[in-house]
């Protein structure tokens, strides 16, 4: 099929108009050149956009939006394309607005401890640029080398340190946003709050549905002088879970608190040789940071708690090299699992921590029921559970089976009072689980919120919030929070 | 859990008011009635909807009905060594959680550990149509759906009647101490900026009457080494000072004059107003008494790249209470308000004439 020709002919007038705005090299319509934009980090979903437009300035974004709005052409905004829920999946009849050329750090302010950056700036690049001032940008999603701050805002990205330092929403002060009509607005402020409704919070995590983030004022924090990690092994997952509760209930706020089950431990150890005990049912990694004095007293407390709660082994990384080694296994957990299985499917549910034992037991039963292996990686501090379902996409029907298992796990997360997505976003991938979590009037309210910003639904249409019709299709398995009592869990 | 579930009555009352387009004035204990523009409406009393619904210290989360008093919540938290991280002002013995979250005010700890909205994880509310809805949840990480919970914080009840709130908690610091440095205003502001950039456990930076007060919260060792680094002298009345600052009980606040709240970047210059200005939030919050007109003050704040609020005013004051919004943003407010409250019955006009 000659889709280049078809792409060109489908809306040559629009391409021409947009080239006038952004320059001819910044409008891509050639199929081969469009190909890299057909998906984001969720590669199971692919679509070629009508065209890709790469503006370099706020004014260009405004003019592109005015043109698209006038012609009722939908627009999908894309940052670095590392998202895991298909939020930046193109629309075949829409413009893909890539903000990668807006990649400048505009200002670093050593007095206000802020940096003003364009949306295409990479997350880690901010911390690198301010390191010499003893400052850093706290949210550290695992993709921080590649992901952009604009995408972080759209997804409200977290990271392993979010229990103590918060999510994107807690670490930004102000946004410049281009509306669907091409108007430029400022939300938030250079002060610590702003008059009117908290549109900064509403924009954060809105997945490109409400407006286009074109500038971000981020908050910078002093780099903690010391960070140390304790690793503890347990012969039962539940004990590790109880230890987590005891640490937090004991008044300690770790900078990071991660858990891996045996399957994930083995995969990671085989891959990067982090020195994990491969016979442990679970390990905990607990990072404490602050001044040396603070860290010393907290490490002592944590070690005591871990031992009390039955850790079979605890090790403190006393030097930076060991600390990095301990983390290397956790950070490599996903690719490590990728090595032992042709494909894996990552679930992103969040649960109240106290339900960990129940949920892991139920996942284990589901895993048997579906005949699919599941490795569990858990942000134990914040309750975000990432079961990785191992499957083979080349086997007939296995992807469908995997998705079904994924939905059952998310159903479980909702039943115990959690959520279907902790950090990856809804995108296109979790529209169906959204119906599990929210009742119809709430979904209608979400649509009303979008309509307040984007009345004709031109910004990333079809993502993030399911239509009620779609939820009705799934009606058979509708499980609203509370309607299915907790006691039903043993059916798994 | 003790308490009283008054939800059916509340929902019914909002439904009836929606049908009749009858304006409502949402009321907790009334401790913060002085905030915002004066409004009329029949009283919707939320203070009977009470009780801590769930509190699991190891989860660092508490869920309570909106009418629950901060007194009751604080009692429960203290027993488990935890605190509300945004150090909310009560402004009254019976202040409720609902009112606190709806007003979105935060105390001296705010720049260092976060604001009211930072700690809200989920809410239940009754929209203007009388529908009871649940947004967010009880978990720290949650990106399913728009963040309506945080949108409600500081909306002064104009988008929904808050009926239940899940809030994130912090462990209580082991120890707290206050240091004092005698400085002029400009040097104090510079020092606050310098200290804010250091990795030390600061939990309050305030300046009044020629004294910079620095509160440290943390472990015994951590505080000792930070204190050695900062110098200055111990303020034995530290705890009392921060409480009176938060509750506006310091003698500074005891004046029959408009109290202006200026929220500005920390780099905003010294105002040299002497005893007419008190600084909190490490320089980002300036409480001011002035003879300037409201328009002059709103403009002044705008020039400082911040905004101004008429925080407390005498009843004769007829002007606006908050810095005005730009055209497009004001329109967005109108449309958002109407999406939650189409008949415009919930605390309408409390923030601006359109919301």
Domain end, chosen from B171, B204, B233, is at B171
- Is the predicted pLDDT of residue A6 greater than 50, yes or no? no
Cβ pair A199:B329 closer than 8 A: yes
Report, as an integer, the average pLDDT of A95-109. 98
Report the half-sphere exposure of A106 (CA within 13 A, side-chain side): 13
pLDDT-based confidence at residue A81 (cuts at 50, 70, 90): very high
Q: How far is B215 from chain A (nearest CA, A)?
A: 16
B140 and B21 in a single domain? The answer is: yes
pLDDT tens column, A125-171: 999 999 999 999 999 998 899 999 999 999 999 988 999 999 999 99
Cβ pair B144:A441 closer than 8 A: no
Cβ pair B144:A383 closer than 8 A: no
Residues of B within 8 A of A417 (CB-CB) are: 137-139
Report, as an integer, the average pLDDT of A399-427. 94
pLDDT-based confidence at residue B48 (cuts at 50, 70, 90): very high
CB-CB neighbours of A45 under 10 Å: 15
- Is the predicted pLDDT of residue A484 greater than 60, yes or no? no
B150 and B200 in a single domain? The answer is: no
Which sequence spans correspond to the domains of chain A?
3-98, 105-222, 226-335, 341-491
B146 and B11 in a single domain? The answer is: yes
B229 and B261 in a single domain? The answer is: yes
pLDDT of residue A104: 98
B164 and B203 in a single domain? The answer is: no
- Is the predicted pLDDT of residue A492 greater than 70, yes or no? no
- Is the predicted pLDDT of residue A273 greater than 60, yes or no? yes
Identify the CATH class of A341-491. Answer: alpha beta
pLDDT of residue A485: 34
Residues of B within 8 A of A352 (CB-CB) are: 56, 59, 61, 138-139
Q: How far is A234 from chain B (nearest CA, A)?
A: 19
pLDDT of residue A357: 87
- Is the predicted pLDDT of residue A9 greater than 70, yes or no? no
pLDDT of residue B2: 79
Q: Which fold is adopted by the domain A3-98?
A: 3.30.43
Report helix, strand or coil for B134: strand
Q: How far is A124 from chain B (nearest CA, A)?
A: 20
pLDDT-based confidence at residue B47 (cuts at 50, 70, 90): very high
Domain end, chosen from B152, B171, B190, is at B171
B144 and B20 in a single domain? The answer is: yes
Range of the domain at B263: 175-312
Out of B153, B266, B338, name the one closest to residue A198 (CB). Answer: B153
B271 and B250 in a single domain? The answer is: yes
pLDDT tens column, A230-259: 999 999 999 999 999 999 999 999 999 999
Q: How many domains does chain B have?
A: 2
Residues of B within 8 A of A257 (CB-CB) are: none
B14 and B147 in a single domain? The answer is: yes
Report yes or no on B40 lying in a domain: yes
pLDDT of residue A293: 86
pLDDT-based confidence at residue A475 (cuts at 50, 70, 90): low
Report yes or no on B280 lying in a domain: yes
- Is the predicted pLDDT of residue A55 greater than 90, yes or no? yes
- Is the predicted pLDDT of residue A486 greater than 80, yes or no? no
Q: Which of residues 329-358 of A touch B (CB under 8 A)?
A: 350-354
Size of interface A-B (CB pairs under 8 A): 263
Q: What is the residue-averaged pLDDT of chain A? A: 92
Which among B141, B218, B220 is the top mutation candidate for probing chain A, defined by the most A β-carbons within 10 Å of its own β-carbon? B141
Report yes or no on B340 lying in a domain: no
pLDDT of residue A263: 94
- Is the predicted pLDDT of residue B185 greater than 60, yes or no? yes
Report yes or no on B142 lying in a domain: yes
> Do the first three CATH levels of A3-98 and A341-491 match, i.e. the same topology?
no
pLDDT tens column, A433-452: 999 999 999 999 999 999 99
Q: How far is A407 from chain B (nearest CA, A)?
A: 15
Chain B CB within 8 Å of residue A445 CB: yes
Cβ pair A197:B336 closer than 8 A: yes
Out of A155, A298, A382, name the one closest to residue B140 (CB). Answer: A382
Question: Which of A23-27, A37-41, A334-338 is the least confident region?
Answer: A334-338
- Is the predicted pLDDT of residue B308 greater than 60, yes or no? yes
Q: Which of residues 217-246 of A touch B (CB under 8 A)?
A: 222-225, 244-246
B127 and B209 in a single domain? The answer is: no
pLDDT tens column, A34-53: 999 999 999 889 999 999 99
Q: How far is A348 from chain B (nearest CA, A)?
A: 10
pLDDT of residue A489: 31
> What CATH code is assigned to A226-335?
3.30.70.2190
Domain end, chosen from B148, B171, B194, is at B171
Pairing of strands B211-218, B202-208: antiparallel
Report yes or no on B351 lying in a domain: no
Q: What is the residue-averaged pLDDT of chain B? A: 97
- CATH code, domain carrying B141: 3.30.465.10
pLDDT of residue B230: 96
B21 and B162 in a single domain? The answer is: yes
Report yes or no on B187 lying in a domain: yes
Residues of B within 8 A of A351 (CB-CB) are: 139
- Is the predicted pLDDT of residue A307 greater than 80, yes or no? yes
Cβ pair A187:B80 closer than 8 A: no
Q: Which fold is adopted by the domain A105-222?
A: 3.30.465
Cβ pair A293:B61 closer than 8 A: no
Residue of chain B nearest A207, judged by CA positions: B146
Question: Which of A165-169, A358-362, B121-125, B204-208 is the least confident region?
Answer: A358-362
């Amino acid at each position: 099929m000659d889709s280049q020709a078809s792409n060109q002919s489908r809306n040559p007038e629009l391409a021409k108009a947009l080239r006038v705005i952004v320059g001819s090299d910044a409008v891509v319509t050639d199929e081969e050149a469009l190909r890299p934009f057909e998906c984001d980090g969720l590669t199971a979903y692919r679509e070629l956009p009508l065209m890709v437009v790469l503006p370099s300035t706020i004014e260009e974004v405004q003019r592109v939006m005015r043109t698209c709005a006038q012609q009722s052409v939908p627009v999908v905004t894309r940052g670095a394309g590392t998202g895991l829920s298909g939020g930046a999946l193109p629309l075949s009849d829409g413009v893909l607005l890539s903000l990668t050329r807006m990649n400048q750090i505009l200002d670093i302010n050593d007095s206000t401890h802020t940096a003003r950056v364009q949306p295409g700036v990479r997350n880690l690049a901010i911390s690198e640029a301010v390191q010499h001032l003893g400052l850093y940008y706290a949210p550290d999603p695992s993709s921080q080398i590649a992901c952009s701050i604009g995408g972080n805002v759209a997804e409200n990205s977290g990271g392993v340190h979010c229990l103590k330092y918060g999510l994107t929403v807690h670490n930004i002060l102000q946004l410049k946003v281009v509306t669907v009509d091409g108007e430029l607005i400022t939300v938030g402020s250079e002060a610590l709050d702003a008059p009117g409704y908290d549109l900064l919070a509403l924009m954060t995590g809105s997945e490109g549905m409400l407006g286009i983030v074109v500038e971000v004022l981020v908050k910078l924090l002093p780099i903690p002088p010391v960070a140390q990690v304790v690793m503890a092994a347990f012969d039962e997952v539940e004990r590790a879970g109880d230890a987590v509760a005891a640490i937090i209930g004991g008044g300690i706020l770790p900078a990071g608190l991660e858990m891996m089950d045996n399957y994930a431990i083995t995969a990671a150890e085989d891959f990067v040789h982090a020195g994990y005990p491969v016979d442990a049912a679970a390990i905990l990694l607990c990072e404490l940071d602050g001044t040396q004095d603070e860290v010393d007293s907290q490490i002592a407390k944590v070690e005591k708690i871990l031992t009390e709660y039955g850790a079979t082994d605890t090790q403190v990384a006393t030097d930076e090299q060991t600390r990095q080694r301990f983390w290397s296994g956790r950070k490599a957990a996903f690719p490590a699992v990728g090595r032992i299985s042709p494909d894996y499917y990552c679930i992103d549910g969040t649960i109240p921590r106290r339900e960990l034992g129940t949920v892991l037991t139920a996942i284990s039963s589901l895993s048997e029921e579906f005949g699919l292996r599941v490795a569990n990686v858990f942000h134990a501090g914040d309750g975000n559970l990432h079961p990785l379902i191992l499957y083979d996409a080349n086997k007939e029907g296995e992807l469908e089976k995997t998705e079904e298992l994924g939905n059952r796990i998310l159903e479980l997360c909702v039943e115990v009072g959690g959520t279907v997505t902790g950090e990856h976003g809804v995108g296109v991938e979790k529209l169906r689980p959204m119906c599990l979590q929210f009742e119809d009037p709430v979904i209608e309210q979400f649509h009303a919120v979008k309509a307040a910003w984007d009345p004709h639904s031109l910004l990333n249409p079809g993502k993030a919030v399911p239509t009620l019709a779609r939820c009705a299709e799934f009606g058979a398995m509708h499980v609203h929070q509370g309607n299915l009592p907790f006691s039903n869990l043993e059916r798994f | 859990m003790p308490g009283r579930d008054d939800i059916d009555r509340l929902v019914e009352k909002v439904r009836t008011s929606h049908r009749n387009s009858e304006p409502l004035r949402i009321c907790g204990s009334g401790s913060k009635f002085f905030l915002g523009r004066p409004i009329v409406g029949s009283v919707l009393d939320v203070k009977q909807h009470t009780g801590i619904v769930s509190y699991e210290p190891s989860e660092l989360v508490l869920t309570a009905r909106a009418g629950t008093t901060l007194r009751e919540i604080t009692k429960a938290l203290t027993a488990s060594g935890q605190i509300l991280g945004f150090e909310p002002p009560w402004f009254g013995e019976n202040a409720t959680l609902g009112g606190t979250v709806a007003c979105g005010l935060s105390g001296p700890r705010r720049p260092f550990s976060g604001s009211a909205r930072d700690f809200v994880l989920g809410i239940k509310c009754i929209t203007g149509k009388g529908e009871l809805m649940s947004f967010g949840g009880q978990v720290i990480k949650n990106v399913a759906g728009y963040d309506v919970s945080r949108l409600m914080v500081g909306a002064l009840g104009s988008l929904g009647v808050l009926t239940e709130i899940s809030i994130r908690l912090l462990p209580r610091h082991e120890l707290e101490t206050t240091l004092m440095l005698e400085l002029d205003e400009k040097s104090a502001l510079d020092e606050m900026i310098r200290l804010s950039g250091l990795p030390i456990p600061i939990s309050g930076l305030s300046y009044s009457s020629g004294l910079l007060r620095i509160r440290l919260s943390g472990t015994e060792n951590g505080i000792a080494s930070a204190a050695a680094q900062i110098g200055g002298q111990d303020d034995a009345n530290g705890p009392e000072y921060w409480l009176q600052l938060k509750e506006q009980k310091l003698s500074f606040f005891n004046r029959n004059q408009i109290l202006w709240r200026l929220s500005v970047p920390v780099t905003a210059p010294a105002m040299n107003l002497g005893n007419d200005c008190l600084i909190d939030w490490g320089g980002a919050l300036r409480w001011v008494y002035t003879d300037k007109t409201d328009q002059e003050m709103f403009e002044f704040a705008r020039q400082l790249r911040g905004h101004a609020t008429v925080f407390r005013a005498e009843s004769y004051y007829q002007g606006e209470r908050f810095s005005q919004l730009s055209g497009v943003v004001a329109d967005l407010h109108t449309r958002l308000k109407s999406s939650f409250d189409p008949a415009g019955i919930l605390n309408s006009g409390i923030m601006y004439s359109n919301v």
